[in-house]
Amino acid sequence: MGRKGLSAEEKRKRMMEFFYETEDVWQLKEVEKICAKEKGITSMAIKDVLQSLVDDNMVHVEKIGTSNYYWAFPSEGAAIRGNKKDDYNKKIQELHRREAAAKEGLEAARVGREPTEKRAKIMKEIEDAKATLVNIDTELQSFRDCDPELLKDRGV
């Protein structure tokens, strides 16, 4: 049976383990060599995985001279996760605040709209008036064909 390859997330996880375990600064060639051997990540995928970690600010990179140096320390990971947690908590609080404001607005909008006989009668009158308006507009359209101004403009 053939071996199944690692998922992209599993590769990222293993590479982060490598950086956290070694707590050192590495060049790309060293990362490729060690991660391929110790973490089982194919050497062709290492550069892409490393770049995705750099793009997500999980691994730092610094160009010194002609070389790029990569590192990530466990304490940074905890700080990043803590910052994300704080951001999510702030978003949750903001959503709770907006929800409460929306509920207050809904309650305020309901004031004066309680179902009463007087309100039902007024709503019925409004509906009747709208229906009458539609009927009048329809009748007006039928008379428009005989409008002397329109006939004059058409040359009839």
* Three-state secondary-structure class, residue 41: coil
For residue range 4-55, list pLDDT tens digits in order.
677 888 889 998 999 888 888 999 899 889 888 888 888 888 889 999 999 9
pLDDT confidence band for 125 (50 / 70 / 90): very high
pTM: 0.50
DSSP 81-140: HHHHHHHHHHHHHHHHHHHHHHHHHHHHHHTT----HHHHHHHHHHHHHHHHHHHHHHHH
Q: In the numeric block, which tokens belong to residue 146?
A: 């005989």
